[in-house]
Amino acid sequence: MTIDRFDGTATLVTGASRGIGFAIAQRIVDEGGSVVITGRKQEALDAAVAELGPAASGVAGRSDDAEHRAAVFAHIAERHGRLDHLVNNTGINPVYGPIVDIEAEAARKILEVNVVATLDWTRSAVAAGLSRSVVNIASVAGLGASPGIAFYGISKAALINLTAQLAYELAPAIRVNAVAPAVVKTAFARALYEGHEDEVSATYPLRRLGEPDDVAGPVAFLLSQDAAWITGQTLAIDGGAGIRPLA
């Protein structure tokens, strides 16, 4: 049975030239929608658009660049004349190690991209006529202590709260939700599992790491009318990690 939950719609997915963002864009296209994707590198973005097909287009640039955002929304207006959904997927984590060792400039950059830019994308989308829903890509790192990636976790905790605040303010016209994945097998997360994947997988009740499609499906659900009475929520996508015994 073919599902066309996104037939006739236009969705913006940021940071979607690969990994989770690309998988989300692919799911939307597979379900009848059109997508505009962003990414920093033109070559990678062009390759992603070619793979997604004629329902996709892309605009390259930095997520925290106001001129880039303006160019994206101008492109959406010209190509589609509408914007139904927004997926804020762009995120960075340039440092690993104890939180007491993080440099202030790195901390500011993480917040700028992971939190402030998400707010900027969302309010720009609303100004451009966003009509239905937003999904923010958070992380289980934002739900508790995350040794080694602590400030990234802090930024995702802020993103989870931002989701709730936006959901409250934009209701009833626009729904805003988030997902919080655990370790997903992407280039972004490679440092968390490369060389010891079996060991990491064994800590999850479902005994494997996530794949990008494991996130794309729930995101598509939250964007769609199947989730019409859900807003302000953060869904953990964690292979059961959240139910592990404390002792």
- HEC assignment per residue over 120-152: HHHHHHHHCCCCCEEEEECCHHHCCCCCCCHHH
Token pair, residue 188, equals 């972004």
Token pair, residue 171, equals 């209701």
Specify whether the CB–CB gap between 117 and 67 falls below 8 A: no
Specify whether the CB–CB gap between 138 and 178 falls below 8 A: yes
In the set 152, 168, 193, 204, the catalytic residue is 152
Q: How many CB atoms are closer than 10 A to CB 162?
A: 21
Say how far apart CA 114 and CA 93 lie, in whole Å. 9
Question: Is 204 annotated as catalytic?
Answer: no
Classified as helix, coil or strand, 186 is: coil
Specify whether the CB–CB gap between 237 and 179 falls below 8 A: yes
Say how far apart CA 25 and CA 136 lie, in whole Å. 14
The answer for residues whose C-beta is within 8 angstroms of residue 160's C-beta and 6 or more apart is: 136, 138, 142, 143, 178, 180, 234
Active site residues: 152
